Structure 1
Amino acid sequence: MPNIKDILAKAKPREHTIRLCLAGDVAAEVERLEAELAATQSWVQQSIADAHPGIALAEKIAAARERMQGSEVEFTFRALGAKAWSDLVAQHPSDKEGESWDDESLAPALIAASAINPAMTPDDVGELFEQLNAGQRQQLIDAAWTVNGEATAVPFALHASAILASRTDGK
């Protein structure tokens, strides 16, 4: 029979990490270059010495994508304990009938309370939100909700399983 003290010693709050690309200007550059590349589809070689203009564009796209990847930042969140969650919800009550909390004020506060790397204050979250678009803000909000609201289960990793199966002839 399991001992609760042993179980408690093993228990760790759920963590969840996301990556956000913060180089909005480079993302726009990639989009522009991809549009230019698409416009070269009708290019016809006139001479054996002619190089396809798409080659230079593809190289620029690859370099810009590397810069985008270099601008990605990891945000790691840790689930709040029951009391911290209850206190946070109590600080953001809803004005609407039948709703426990106000989504608009709770979401940034939940990000700040759950963020462990980098740690953030509510003011930091506000400043960050001013630099991000709606989709990026939603990614942060979703990560904070995920770590605090979803149960933790052992995931099935199809790709990893396929790789391992190929090494053992499926056995």
Structure 2
Amino acid sequence: MPDIKALLARAKPRERTVKIMLDGEAAGEIERLEAELLETAEDWQPTDLTEQHPGRVIAGQIAELREKARASEAAFRFRYIGDEAYSSLLAAHPSKDPEEGFDSVTFPRGLIAASCIEPVMSDDDVKDLFEVITQGQIKALFDAAWDVHNSSGLVPFSLAASALLAAAGGDEK
């Protein structure tokens, strides 16, 4: 029978990293250029065999902007803060609605600030970050923070890794 002290010595808090693209301007420009590329592709007819598609220039601009957008990605690493700290955080952000377990505005900010270990952020830093990223990005950060506190503890399943191993002819480890 395993000794609890030995098990505790092996235990490590759950962690998860999520990347957020910080250059929203580049994302918007990529979307605009992609729409322009589709429009150009529909209407263009070459006048001779040597003529190059005008969409090639637009595609090049998109590729450059994608690199710029990728370079603006920032990794946010979250770690489980422990049962007592998590319970205290929940208690500090009660909901006005008795059907909800926490305040849906203040608790996500508090959980992100408390559990993000890279970069370290205060509640005010999180509030400022939320002013420049999208609601989808805010959700991605909160989902990661929530996951490290509420996941089942099972080893995460990777469909991509399983498919690659199956295609390679076996489940090598």
Q: Please indicate, yes or no, whether the TM-score normalized by the shorter chain is above 0.5.
A: yes
2:84 is equivalent to residue 83 of structure 1: yes
Name the structure 1 match of 2:137: 136
1:113-162 per-residue CA deviation (whole Å, 9 max, x = no partner) reads: 01000011001001111111211112111111111111221133232223
SS in structure 2 at match of 1:31 = helix
1:14-39 per-residue CA deviation (whole Å, 9 max, x = no partner) reads: 11111111111101110111111001
Q: Displacement of 1:169 after TM fit?
A: 6.0
Asked if 1 retains the 8 angstrom alpha-carbon contact of 2:162 and 2:171, the reply is: no
Name the structure 1 match of 2:50: 49
Q: 1:38 to 1:154 in 2, by over 3 A?
A: same
Q: Displacement of 1:70 after TM fit?
A: 0.7
Q: Displacement of 1:78 after TM fit?
A: 0.5
What is the alpha-carbon distance in structure 2 between the residues aligned to residue 141 and residue 167 of structure 1? 36
For this pair of structures, how many residues does the alignment match?
171
Partner letter of residue 154 of structure 1? V
- For normalisation by structure 1, the TM-score amounts to 0.92
What is the alpha-carbon distance in structure 2 between the residues aligned to residue 87 and residue 157 of structure 1? 33
Asked if 1 retains the 8 angstrom alpha-carbon contact of 2:77 and 2:116, the reply is: yes
Name the structure 2 match of 1:29: 29
What is the alpha-carbon distance in structure 2 between the residues aligned to residue 141 and residue 75 of structure 1? 11
Q: Displacement of 1:86 after TM fit?
A: 1.2
Asked if 1 retains the 8 angstrom alpha-carbon contact of 2:30 and 2:66, the reply is: yes
Name the structure 2 match of 1:12: 12
What is the alpha-carbon distance in structure 2 between the residues aligned to residue 157 and residue 140 of structure 1? 20
What is the alpha-carbon distance in structure 2 between the residues aligned to residue 29 and residue 54 of structure 1? 15
Alignment of 1:75-114 (within 5 A): 75-114=76-115
What is the alpha-carbon distance in structure 2 between the residues aligned to residue 160 and residue 62 of structure 1? 27
Alpha-carbon RMSD: 1.7
**Any unmatched runs of 5+ in structure 2?**
none
* Identity %, equivalent residues: 46
- For normalisation by structure 2, the TM-score amounts to 0.91
What is the alpha-carbon distance in structure 1 between the residues aligned to residue 14 and residue 87 of structure 2? 17
What is the alpha-carbon distance in structure 2 between the residues aligned to residue 88 and residue 66 of structure 1? 39
What is the alpha-carbon distance in structure 2 between the residues aligned to residue 158 and residue 97 of structure 1? 39
What is the alpha-carbon distance in structure 2 between the residues aligned to residue 21 and residue 113 of structure 1? 22
Name the structure 2 match of 1:58: 59
